Structure formats: C-alpha cells, structure tokens
A and B are shown apart, each in its own frame.
Chain A
Amino acid sequence: MKGSLSDSTKRVMDIKNRKWLIAGGVVGLFLLASKLLQAVELTLPRVPLADGVDVAIEWATINLAPFFDGIKLVVIKLLVAITAFFDWVPWIVWVVAVGGAAFRWLGIRTAVFFLAGLLTIVSVGLWDHAMSTIALVSTSMVLILVTGIPIGIMASRNDRFESALRPVLDAMQTMPSFVYLIPVIFLLGSGKVPAVLATMIYATPPAIRLTNLALRQVSPEIKEAARSFGATPFQMLFKVELPLAVATIMAGVNQSLMMAISMVVIASLIGAGGLGNDVLFAMSRVRVGDGFEAGLAILVLAIVVDRSTQALGQRASKETRTE
C-alpha cells in the first residue's frame, strides 16, 4: 500500500520534471540563438507598401474626382438640411421636449438628470456647438443606417459575402482613425463632409454586424411556417424577419451611435466643428476648465442619446419576445 503510493507520487514528479526540462530547454535555445545572432545584421528587402498607397490615393484624387464630388454634394445637402433644423428649434423647446419624453417613458429620475445636463450645456454657452455636433452625428447616422442595414441584410443571406466582409469590418473598427483622416482630406478636402465620412468608417460596423446576426438568429421554425403559406422573399423580409430582428438591430444602431459620438473630437481635427473644436481649443491652450465643460457637454449628449435609443430597443424586444 505504502509502496504503491510512493510509486505514483514518483511518477507524477517525473511528468512534472519532464515538463520543466522541456520549458527550460526552449528558453535556453531562444537565448542561445539570440546571443549567436546578435552580431549578424539581418535585413529583408523593403516592400513598397507606403509608396503604393500614396500612388493609389494620388490616382484616385485625380481620376475619381467627379465620383467624390458627387458624394460630397449628397452629404452636404443632407447635412445642411439637418443642421438647419437643429438650429431652427430653440433650445427651450428641445429641453422641454426631451425632458417631457424622458419623464413619460424613462421615469422621473432620468428626466431630472436629462434636464440638469441639458440646462448646464445651455448655461455654459455651449448649446449651439452641441447642436452642430448633434447635426453632424445625425447626418452620419442617417447614412450609416441606409448603408449599414442593407449590407447587413445581404451578409445574412450570403455566407461568402459575410466572410469577405468580416476582415473589412475589423479593419474599419481597429485601424487608428488618424490613418484614414489624411487620405480622406486628400479626396474630399477638409470640413464637415470628410468628418461625416470618417465617422461612418468608424461607426458603421456594429450596425452591419448586428443586422447580420439578428437576421441569422430569427427562428428557422417561424420562417419555415411563414414560407409554407406562400410568402415571397420580400414578404418574408419585411413581415417576418425584420420585425423579429428589430430588437437586435436596435442594439447595433445604439452601438453605432455611441461610436459616432466618440468620434466627435477626432473629427474636429479635420474641421467637424462643434463641441470637438472646444475640446481641441482648450487642449491647445491648456485651459483645463474649458476643456472640462466641453467634455461634460459631449458626455451629456451621449447619455441622453444612449438612454433614449436603448429604451426604443427594449420596447421593440418586448414586442417580439417569443415566449
């Protein structure tokens, strides 16, 4: 009995020792190789990646000018209309409307918080800039919805398209924004239009991803039953799939919205204006207090928008709960 116990203990020790031996060997080898190759200069020929990109952008700037001018025109028209609307409505109407809606659907505490936040923005004199920011974010969101949701629908229908799309979406979300701000300026100049496009690049992926996911999650049993009665693909999409997917799609829209607001400061580097400008201004002059005010205003806008769209999404999901 005792003998067998010590035997098995020994075996365990053996296995442990072997593992340590291997690990030690690998580390030793790594260090030895480094030591030996320390003196040797190893180089690879340079791949002309940067030059390639430069040439491509230059070519596009010259040859695709009409195309980008067209885009610019559409975005400007939309932006001007939306901005005009936000300027036209007096702040007191906005504050009362938002506060009232919050009181009706989100409760008294949220309503008080919203009111306090919005009134603070007014009182520190940032209301106009806040509305300019909101107009820019709204324009971006309109464009994100009209491009992102159809792309998401296509991705949900076609596995190959989806897998081709995935790395593109990853790149859009993880590539540092400054990297594409430069070519965007080349192609579109500076100002609000490139700011809208930069925001779109960064904030569209969640809308696409969650639309795709939402449609793929619709119960196959429900789809099969609806189809068995002779529903056309069009009827299936608009009467069955989108209504059942709307809660998840709303979650994607909410994420896109938050990311669009978080682009405000970076976009102001290429002329987005609005609250982002105030932050940049305070930063460049080391005015801590001003910077804090502008930052707080962005925060208030983000919270108001987030809570409101989340509430919309929850109402939608209540509607479509299966059980």
Chain B
Amino acid sequence: MAQEGAPKLSVRGLWKVFGHESTGGIVPDEIANKSKEDMREDDGAVLALKDVSFDVNEGETFVVMGLSGSGKSTLVRTLVRLIEPSYGQIIVDGDDILQYSEKELVDFRRRKTSMVFQHFGLLPHRSVLENAAWGLEVQNIPKAKRLQIARETLDLVGLSGWEDYRPGALSGGMQQRVGLARAIAADADILLMDEPFSGLDPLIRRDMQGELIRLQEHLHKTLIFITHDLAEALKLGTHIAIMRDGVVIQIGTGEEILEAPADDYVAEFVQDVRRTTVVTVRTIMDQPDLKLRQSTTPAVAMREMGQAGVVSAFVCDEEDHYLGMVSFNGAAEAKQRGDATIADAITVDEYPTLPADTSVESALPVVLEHHNEGALAVTDEEGVLVGTLLPSSVVGAMAQEAQDATDHREASAASLEASHADDQEEADGDGDSEAVDPREGMEVS
C-alpha cells in the first residue's frame, strides 16, 4: 500500500504514441530521441504524450491546462487506461496500474476513480436517478441501496425533484450536475474531470465552478481537472500543469506560473489574466519592522520602538500568533501603571488582519479603509503573523498591473489571435470564455 506522505497518483515518463503497441515500462531510446515529424513519416505514428511526469497529492486539485491538441484529454484517459499509454508508469496508491490485468483494471476503475466528461456521456434511456447510480450499479450494489445513495448525491448537487426525468429533458448545466453526481456517488478517491464545464455557457460555467469548490470543501477528493481556460485553472487548481504538443512545459501553483512563466508560450497565456486577481498578499507583503512578544516589559517595548523609529508595533504570543498592536503611548501608559508586561496595552479592534492568501485586488478595499492606521498584519491559516502590508504595496501592485495591461493589450491580442486562432475556435465553441471577467474567479473565501 501507499506510504505515508507519498503522492496519491504519480505519473512517470508517460508516453502515448498512436500507432505503437502499448508495452508499459521505460521508453526505448530510439523512440525517445525521435522527433514527432520523423515518427509520422516513418510509420504513420502520432505522438500524443511525450515523457509526461507529475505527482498529485491526496485531496488537492491538480489542473492540466492546454489548448486542443495539446494531449490533455489523451492524458486523462490514459490515467484509467481508456486509452492505453505506450510507455511509462502510472502509480496510484503504490501500484503501477499499467501492470493490472483486465479484471484488476475493472476493479480499479470501480473503486479508485470516477470520471466526468465534457459531453456528459449519460445514458439517454435511463432516468437521472439511474444515471447517478450507474457507478454503483456496475459494482453490483443492491438496487435499493444504490438508488438511495444516488438520491442523496443528486440532492447534494441540487437536483432533487429531477430524479425521474430522462437526461435529455435537462439543460446542459443540469446534465453536467448529473454527471457530477454520478462521479461522486461512485465514491472513488480520485475524480477525473475532462473539460467538464467547457460546453456550458459562461454564467452556468461560473456557477458550476463555484459548485465544485463548495463540494470539494467537504468531499476532499483528489481532483484531476482538465481545461483549456487559464482563468478556470487558476480558480480551481492547487497545482497547474501546462501542456503543449504532448509535453508538460510547466508545473506549479497558479502564482508560480503567473510570476515566473517557464517560456514564451506560458507567458502569452499569463498576459491575459489580471495578476492582481490571482497574486496574493503573501507575494507583495513586507517583513514587519518590529515584532514584540506579549511578555515584553513596557520599558523594553518603548526602547525597541524608539530604536526602530516606529510609533506602534505588532504583538505576538510565544508561538508567533498575532494578538494585536501596541502603540508607543500605550506602552508608556503601561509603564506608568507599573504593569509587568505589555499584554494589557494591546489594542485589537481597529486593526483588522488579512489572511495571506487574500488576492491583492480583494485586499484593496480593506487597505483603503484603514490607510490611516499604517501597515496591516498578514496572518496564515493558524493566525501566525507572517508579514505586514503597506497600503502603498497594494496600490503599487495595482498600478503595475494597469501599466502591464496597457503595454500588453494590443500585443497580446494580436499574438494570441494569430498563434491560437484555430485552437481557440475549436476548444472554445461559444467563444465567450475571454468575456468572463477573471475577477469572478477569485472571490475570497
């Protein structure tokens, strides 16, 4: 079984060459060194995945992003061997699934993975309820039990009342909720989602993205999500892999990709996204000038503030948890009262804190409201003080963004249209994804 801390799913040196036999194992050198064009000319083989490797941790959302033809849909199908990969390893919970027999593979698909498809793939001759129960039906779970679970899951995705309809009677967004319910009801650890929202119109797509985030908050599945839409990738992904021509060209968090695009191709994508909607406060915050412990004596506090040249300082407990602020005057009063520490001089109310993963754009109103108080405290999930945010940093980042946007607007529009016109058209049938304001992607939770 899987070791503690090992990734849930790990892909190693995965190749798919259409027209080659699937052997698994390490790719032979003569193939690894062959170019895509040579393969096509020599034996009509088509290279779809080239040496793909990545790790997906339990409970994270791993997004694979690329335009059509980048191999992302082939990749997700190889993960359950709907398409047999040619070479490489796919290790799930410590097992290489490419070594599985037909029977083990069926069992793996039933227990470990379930999939959501762009075109839903619902059974038109069955009711919504029976469709949601499909994964349980193939596992031969008794009818009463599987329908019960399916009913609960449909309720979870907001489809109660629609159980007895045929999928054909439902709108696209609702059909995809059935697809989602079918995947969730099967109770597998890993959810594979192949462009599940790409066929939906922009408003419905945004709803569904929110729905997925909400569901994931209490399901904690391991999600592998395929998309051609960078805004969607940034909104949903813990880690993002960008693919092009069957090769993974960059893997990282959304911020890492925005801050340091691996090459021009990634950079072109990134230009389109407003960085302030994605870049978090953590990236632009400063180290606090002065951090005091609550056990500090008023006299020491006054001396340190004097040396640092500040009129107030952040106060933390012994584990660095943020408690509030102490002003120079407050410390002076405490000294006059004869307090042993500055604990009673801490003021909390008028100094709000910002979570470190707040986006810069969301931080702006808070910073503006409190600009008279100077720097704001930035804390992590445990309430530990990790930095300080000056209003000028926020405004600076926004201004930089505006400048970049002006610089790139024409260039990016021209180059993106020129280089991806065909792909975009195909991948993005409604042509509306650019119209979605990326800000919607970054509501602060």
Residues of A at under 8 Å CB distance from B? 219, 221-222, 224-232, 235, 239-240, 243-244, 319-323
A221-B119, A225-B117, A322-B168 given; A230·B124 CB < 8 A? no
Cβ of B76 to closest chain A Cβ, rounded Å: 10
> In the bound complex, how far is the Cα of B192 from the Cα of A297, in angstroms?
61
A224-B121, A244-B125, A321-B124 given; A229·B82 CB < 8 A? no
Task: Check B135–A230 contact: CB distance below 8 A.
Answer: yes
Residues of A within 8 A of B121 (CB): 219, 221-222, 224-226
Residues of B within 8 A of A231 (CB): 106, 138
Residues of B at under 8 Å CB distance from A? 77, 80, 82, 106-111, 113-115, 117, 119-125, 134-135, 137-139, 168, 179, 182, 186, 192
A225-B117, A228-B115, A229-B134 given; A319·B106 CB < 8 A? no
A-B contact pairs, 20 of them (CB 8 A): A221-B117, A221-B121, A224-B82, A224-B117, A225-B121, A225-B122, A225-B179, A226-B123, A229-B115, A229-B134, A229-B135, A230-B107, A230-B111, A230-B135, A230-B139, A239-B137, A239-B138, A244-B125, A321-B168, A322-B124
A229-B186, A230-B107 given; A222·B138 CB < 8 A? no
Residues of B within 8 A of A322 (CB): 124, 168
Task: Check B115–A232 contact: CB distance below 8 A.
Answer: no
In the complex, residue of chain B having the shortest beta-carbon distance to the beta carbon of A227? B82
In the complex, residue of chain A having the shortest beta-carbon distance to the beta carbon of B112? A230
In the complex, residue of chain B having the shortest beta-carbon distance to the beta carbon of A223? B121
Task: Check A228–B113 contact: CB distance below 8 A.
Answer: yes
Q: Which of A319, A321, A322 has its CB near the most chain B CB atoms (within 10 A)?
A: A322
Residues of A within 8 A of B122 (CB): 222, 225
A229-B114, A232-B138 given; A222·B123 CB < 8 A? yes
Residues of A within 8 A of B109 (CB): 227-230
Residues of B within 8 A of A229 (CB): 109-110, 114-115, 134-135, 138, 182, 186
> In the bound complex, how far is the Cα of B186 from the Cα of A230, in angstroms?
10
Residues of A within 8 A of B114 (CB): 228-229
> In the bound complex, how far is the Cα of B122 from the Cα of A320, in angstroms?
11
Task: Check A243–B125 contact: CB distance below 8 A.
Answer: yes
Task: Check B82–A232 contact: CB distance below 8 A.
Answer: no
Residues of A within 8 A of B77 (CB): 224
Main secondary structure of the interface of A (DSSP, over half): helix
In the complex, residue of chain B having the shortest beta-carbon distance to the beta carbon of A246? B125
Task: Check A226–B124 contact: CB distance below 8 A.
Answer: no
> In the bound complex, how far is the Cα of B315 from the Cα of A79, in angstroms?
98
> In the bound complex, how far is the Cα of B80 from the Cα of A144, in angstroms?
39
- The 10 closest A-B CB pairs, nearest first, are A225-B121, A230-B110, A230-B109, A228-B115, A229-B135, A320-B125, A231-B138, A322-B124, A221-B121, A230-B106
Residues of B within 8 A of A235 (CB): 138
In the complex, residue of chain A having the shortest beta-carbon distance to the beta carbon of B113? A228
Q: Which of A231, A232, A244 has its CB near the most chain B CB atoms (within 10 A)?
A: A231
Task: Name B80's contact: one of A221, A222, A228, A244 (CB within 8 Å).
Answer: A228
Residues of B within 8 A of A323 (CB): 168
> In the bound complex, how far is the Cα of B82 from the Cα of A226, in angstroms?
11
Task: Check B117–A226 contact: CB distance below 8 A.
Answer: no
Task: Check A228–B82 contact: CB distance below 8 A.
Answer: yes
Residues of B within 8 A of A228 (CB): 80, 82, 109, 113-115, 192
Q: Which of A228, A319, A322 has its CB near the most chain B CB atoms (within 10 A)?
A: A228
Cβ of A243 to closest chain B Cβ, rounded Å: 5
Residues of A within 8 A of B108 (CB): 230
> In the bound complex, how far is the Cα of B139 from the Cα of A323, in angstroms?
28
Residues of B within 8 A of A244 (CB): 123-125
> In the bound complex, how far is the Cα of B437 from the Cα of A284, in angstroms?
86
Cβ of B135 to closest chain A Cβ, rounded Å: 4
> In the bound complex, how far is the Cα of B179 from the Cα of A224, in angstroms?
13
In the complex, residue of chain A having the shortest beta-carbon distance to the beta carbon of B169? A323
> In the bound complex, how far is the Cα of B138 from the Cα of A225, in angstroms?
12
Residues of A within 8 A of B135 (CB): 229-230
Cβ of A214 to closest chain B Cβ, rounded Å: 13
Cβ of A23 to closest chain B Cβ, rounded Å: 42
Residues of A within 8 A of B80 (CB): 228
Residues of A within 8 A of B117 (CB): 221, 224-225
Cβ of B323 to closest chain A Cβ, rounded Å: 52
> In the bound complex, how far is the Cα of B80 from the Cα of A297, in angstroms?
59
Residues of A within 8 A of B82 (CB): 224, 227-228
In the complex, residue of chain A having the shortest beta-carbon distance to the beta carbon of B117? A225
> In the bound complex, how far is the Cα of B125 from the Cα of A240, in angstroms?
9
In the complex, residue of chain A having the shortest beta-carbon distance to the beta carbon of B116? A225
In the complex, residue of chain B having the shortest beta-carbon distance to the beta carbon of A231? B138
Taking A221-B119, A226-B138, A229-B135 as given, write out 13 further A-B residue pairs in contact, using a Cβ cutoff of 8 Å, ordered by the A residue number: A222-B122, A224-B77, A224-B82, A224-B121, A225-B115, A225-B122, A226-B123, A227-B82, A229-B109, A229-B134, A231-B138, A232-B106, A244-B125
> In the bound complex, how far is the Cα of B139 from the Cα of A239, in angstroms?
13
Residues of B within 8 A of A232 (CB): 106, 138
In the complex, residue of chain B having the shortest beta-carbon distance to the beta carbon of A220? B121
Cβ of B190 to closest chain A Cβ, rounded Å: 12
Q: Which of A222, A230, A243, A323 has its CB near the most chain B CB atoms (within 10 A)?
A: A230
Cβ of B183 to closest chain A Cβ, rounded Å: 8
Cβ of B141 to closest chain A Cβ, rounded Å: 12
In the complex, residue of chain B having the shortest beta-carbon distance to the beta carbon of A235? B138
In the complex, residue of chain B having the shortest beta-carbon distance to the beta carbon of A322? B124
In the complex, residue of chain B having the shortest beta-carbon distance to the beta carbon of A240? B123
> In the bound complex, how far is the Cα of B80 from the Cα of A46, in angstroms?
61
> In the bound complex, how far is the Cα of B77 from the Cα of A320, in angstroms?
26
Task: Name B124's contact: one of A224, A227, A239, A320 (CB within 8 Å).
Answer: A320
Residues of A within 8 A of B139 (CB): 230
Residues of A within 8 A of B168 (CB): 321-323
> In the bound complex, how far is the Cα of B137 from the Cα of A243, in angstroms?
16
Residues of B within 8 A of A239 (CB): 137-138
Residues of B within 8 A of A320 (CB): 124-125
Residues of B within 8 A of A240 (CB): 123
Task: Check A319–B125 contact: CB distance below 8 A.
Answer: yes
Residues of A within 8 A of B106 (CB): 230-232
In the complex, residue of chain A having the shortest beta-carbon distance to the beta carbon of B111? A230
Residues of A within 8 A of B124 (CB): 222, 244, 320-322
Cβ of B114 to closest chain A Cβ, rounded Å: 6
> In the bound complex, how far is the Cα of B186 from the Cα of A320, in angstroms?
24
> In the bound complex, how far is the Cα of B123 from the Cα of A3, in angstroms?
69
A221-B117, A244-B124 given; A226·B134 CB < 8 A? yes
In the complex, residue of chain A having the shortest beta-carbon distance to the beta carbon of B119? A221
> In the bound complex, how far is the Cα of B123 from the Cα of A244, in angstroms?
8
Cβ of A215 to closest chain B Cβ, rounded Å: 15
Cβ of A233 to closest chain B Cβ, rounded Å: 9
In the complex, residue of chain A having the shortest beta-carbon distance to the beta carbon of B137? A239
> In the bound complex, how far is the Cα of B336 from the Cα of A13, in angstroms?
119
> In the bound complex, how far is the Cα of B126 from the Cα of A226, in angstroms?
13
> In the bound complex, how far is the Cα of B111 from the Cα of A225, in angstroms?
15
> In the bound complex, how far is the Cα of B135 from the Cα of A322, in angstroms?
20
